[in-house]
Structure 1
Amino acid sequence: MIEEPLQVSIKILEKEYRIACEYHEQDDLRASARLLDSRMREIRQSGRVIGTDRIAVMAALNIAHDLIQLQRSRVGSDGEPGNRLRQLQERINAALSADREGVFEPADEGSDDPPQLDASDERV
C-alpha cells in the first residue's frame, strides 16, 4: 500500500503554510518551522531588516552559517572525518597486534582482566 504525503500546517510570522511531508517527518518539519519563525522574529525585532522577504533571506543565511560552522567543528582539525577514523583504527589495530605479541602486560599479574589502553588524549 502506497502512503500518500501528509499535509502539515505550519505558521511562520503569523502566516500559515500547508506543506506536504511524509508521516514520519512531520515532527522535524514542525521543529524546523519553529526554528525559522524564531529566527525571523529575532531579525524583525532588531529593526535593521525590513520586509518579510529580506527577513526570510537573512534568517536562511544565519541558519546556513550555523550549519556550516557545526559541520566544520565536527570535522576537526585534520580535515576529513574519515581520515581521523582511519588513523584511530590503525592505532587500535597496532595496539591489538602488540597485545597479541605479549607487549602489554596486565596491571595485576594475578588478574585475568585484559590490559587497559589509555586513550585519554584522544578525541573524535
Structure 2
Amino acid sequence: MKQLTIRLLDREMKVAVPEDQSDSLLQAARNLDARLRELRDGNKVAGLERIALLVALDLSHELLLQQGGQVQNAELSHRLQRMQEKIDATLASNRQLELN
C-alpha cells in the first residue's frame, strides 16, 4: 500500500491505496475536485457537506446510467449472437437442401 495526499476543495487528505492504483486515484481526485468546485462556484450551494452529497448523488446517477447502458449492450450482443446462429442454421439447412 502507498499513502497519497489528495486535495479536495483546498483540503488535504491522506489515503492509502495499492501502488498499482495510485495514478487512477489521483485522476479520480482531480475529477472530483473539479466537480466539487464547479458546483460550489456555479450554484450558491451552502456547506461543504451539501456540496459533497450533491456531487456524490450526481456521480452515482451517472454510474447507474452507464451500467444500464452496459446491460443494454450485453442484451443487444446476446440477441445479435442468437440471430447470427439462426442465420447460420438456416444457411446450413438451405445448403443441405441444395445438395439433395
Q: TM-score, normalised by structure 1?
A: 0.66
**One-letter amino acid of the structure 1 residue matched with residue 85 of structure 2:** N
2:83 aligns with 91
Matching of residue 12 in structure 1 with residue 8 in structure 2: yes
Structure with the larger RCO, 1 or 2 (CA within 8 Å, 6+ apart): 2
**Aligned partners of 1:82 and 1:73: how far apart in 2?**
9
More helix per residue: 2
Count residues in correspondence: 95
Matching of residue 59 in structure 1 with residue 59 in structure 2: no
Structure 1 unaligned blocks of 5 or more: 104-124
In the TM superposition, residue 11 of structure 1 has moved relative to its aligned partner by: 0.8
1:50 aligns with 46
Alignment of 1:1-124 (within 5 A): 5-76=1-72, 82-101=74-93, 102=95
Q: TM-score, normalised by structure 2?
A: 0.79
**Aligned partners of 1:60 and 1:96: how far apart in 2?**
48
Structure 2 unaligned blocks of 5 or more: none
